[in-house]
Amino acid sequence: MMRELSGESVLLDLKSGVYFGLNAVGTRIWTLMTEGGSLQDVGRVLCDEFEVQPPDLHGDLLQFASELCAHGLCYVAPPR
Amino acid sequence: MIQLTRRVLICDETPSQITALRETFDSTHAVHLPAFLSGDLLDEVQRAIRAAAFYDRSHGKNGDIGREECMADNSALAMLVLLANDTRLITFIRSITGCAPIGCFDGRVYRMRGTAGHFDRWHSDTGVHRLIGMSVNLSEGAYEGGRFELRSTDSDHVLWQITNTGPGDAVMFRISDDLVHRVTAVQGENARTAFAGWFQSRPDFLSLLRSGRAAASLGA
């Protein structure tokens, strides 16, 4: 469950009852991820929106996704 | 209607309905909001409450204000606290109460049972930046007694009262040095269970989470 709060947002893990805070960029990434695209799709949108080069972004994006997975907030789906 | 659901806040009150609620609140210091929790959300919370652990809790110096059973922190409470901090809900609360800017809502789930000697005497709840009190009925079935009453500090005359037995209904009331409130003793077998707490001027919700005072702490 996610709620936006003035630019930032709070994710709630309904299994553990633990909240996770996301800054504005994290909120945007989470929103794009929940729209069902691949991480690559998310990266493409972010590169356009934030005017950054893919190599500068992909490491951070993968790390963010890894942290979400580590907390059980998302998982890696098999290719369609 | 103002209603919390799992996914969104439904707020389709017209300006004239909001004005009417504001006038009610201005004159009585309280309003009743029917079906504040959606049926699905209420069912989910009630299922969680059935499985939850509760502990005895006293209020006031030497426990002279009240005694109740309080639900131990769990994901259902965390969900309710998160939903109650919806920015649109906070805007709505300010529009019908005219209160100062709200930083966050913090609350608990508690129950009062007639067979356990639980009580709640007149008190104001002032302090720690509280502006507006809220109590949402989570009881399974109607209970007897358990009437919420509000009066001026310097008068015995009850200004507003309600036995809030509608499933998922909410009561909002003003917190002020000039007002006190209580819940009368519950009678009979059915417990009175509520999600109750306060809209506060501070801290903001993220700071509340970081402080670890809300239902669950901030994980990252």
pLDDT band at B83 (very low <50, low <70, confident <90, very high): very high
Percent of chain B whose predicted confidence (pLDDT) is above 90? 86
pLDDT beyond 70 at B214: no
Does a structural domain hold residue B205? yes
Q: Can you tell me whether residue B101 is helix, strand or coil?
A: coil
Name all contacts of B154-158 with Cβ < 8 Å and 24+ positions apart: B154/B178
- Spatial neighbors of B6 by CB under 8 A, at least 6 apart, are A1, B38, B40, B41, B44, B79, B83
The ipTM is 0.80
pLDDT band at B219 (very low <50, low <70, confident <90, very high): low
pLDDT in tens, B56-69: 999 888 888 999 99
Buried b (16+ CB within 10 A) or exposed e, B9-39: bebebeeeeeeebeeebeeebbbbbebbbbe
Q: Are residues B82 and A71, on separate chains, in Cβ contact within 8 Å? A: no
For residue B121, the domain's CATH number is 2.60.120.620
Does a structural domain hold residue B216? no
Does a structural domain hold residue B78? yes
Most B-contacting residue of A19, A23, A29, A34 (CB-CB within 10 A), to test interface? A19
Most B-contacting residue of A5, A9, A74 (CB-CB within 10 A), to test interface? A5
pLDDT band at B125 (very low <50, low <70, confident <90, very high): very high
- Predicted confidence at residue B220, as pLDDT, reads 44
pLDDT band at B123 (very low <50, low <70, confident <90, very high): very high
Nearest to A8 among B6, B77, B206 (CB): B206
* Domain total of chain B: 1
pLDDT beyond 90 at A15: no
* B129 burial via Cβ count (<10 Å: 0-12, 13-18, 19+): middle
pLDDT beyond 70 at B156: yes
Range of the domain at B144: 2-211
Global confidence as pTM: 0.91
For A:26-65, CB contacts with B below 8 A are none
- Spatial neighbors of A57 by CB under 8 A, at least 6 apart, are A43, A46, A47, A50
